[in-house]
Amino acid sequence: MTCNPNWPEIKEHLFLNQQPNDRPDLIVRVFDLKKKIIKYLTGTQGLFGKCIAYVHSVEYQKRGLPHLHCLLWIDENSKPRPQEYDRFVQAEIPNPNEDFQGHQLVLQHIIHGPYCTNKSPCWKDGRCSKRYPKHYSVHTRCREDSYPVYRRRSPEMGGHHGHKEGRLRQNITNEWVVSHNLKLLKIFNCHLNVDICSSVHSIKYVIKYTMKGSDQLFLE
Ligand SMILES: [Zn+2]
């Protein structure tokens, strides 16, 4: 989860002529409260099933906004089965006629890019290191020792598309949608990526973020 500097809890407490960037004190306090809410919803309330362990870490990039990485372990008897994955993790732009709020939020916060090029920070060795645009898929499929391939329908398969505010010329399809949980997206109104990690490979990848420490300086 990445902090949204336009959260009303931040904006309504700015002094005259201040921008959110001028108030790191306010940003970290609001972010910390949101972090507690996400822990309550996913840990105590068990949004993804009965949570038996929780690890998190908050990262601050230089002059950047805070973001949270968290990893939840779900009890064997209550964790979602592969056929239920679509209920917990989505990777598509919702139909604007059925869920206008979801449609807007996904386009606003959950799109990789939109579009990336060799000038984007994600670009490494001649391609997008996050592997966007992703392949379309009619169904969610589980893969051996990797993240699942989520349902990501093309416009021909009935997938929806849209435009990001201020970028009307770029038609965005499901190839660019980051996996997320619509319920959490609506509650938190920010970039919030959700993935199912059911393999050693994916757990190793996520734990690297949650265990990454800040630089340390030892003085005699
Ligand atoms: Zn990229």
pLDDT in tens, 56-71: 888 887 667 899 988 8
Ligand 1 is a single-atom ion; what residues have CB below 5 A from it? 116, 122, 128, 132
pLDDT computed for residue 26 by the predictor: 94
**What value does the mean pLDDT of the chain take?**
90
What would the mean pLDDT of 74-86 be, rounded to a whole number? Answer: 92
Q: What are the structural domain ranges in the chain?
A: 1-80+196-220, 81-181
**Residue 103 pLDDT > 70:** yes
Say what the pTM is: 0.89
Cα(33) to ligand 1 centroid in Å equals 30
Other Cβ atoms within 10 Å of 128 Cβ, number? 18
For residue 27, how far is its CA from the centre of ligand 1 (angstroms)? 27
Supply the pLDDT for residue 102: 97
Ligand 1 mean position to 129 CA, how many Å?
Answer: 6
Distance, in Å, from the CA atom of 116 to the CA atom of 114, rounded to the nearest integer, reads 7
User: Is the CB of residue 56 less than 8 Å from the CB of residue 35?
Assistant: yes
Give Cα separations from 74 to 20, 78, 200 (angstroms): 36, 7, 15
> What is the rounded average pLDDT of the residues 190-198?
92
Distance 111 CA to ligand 1 centre (A): 10
Q: How confident is the model at residue 49 (pLDDT cuts 50, 70, 90)?
A: very high
Instruction: Return the amino acid letter for 118.
Output: N
Distance (Å) from CA 175 to ligand 1 centroid:
11
The pLDDT value given to residue 167: 66
Kindly report which listed range (10-14, 27-31, 162-166, 215-219) carries the lowest average pLDDT score.
215-219
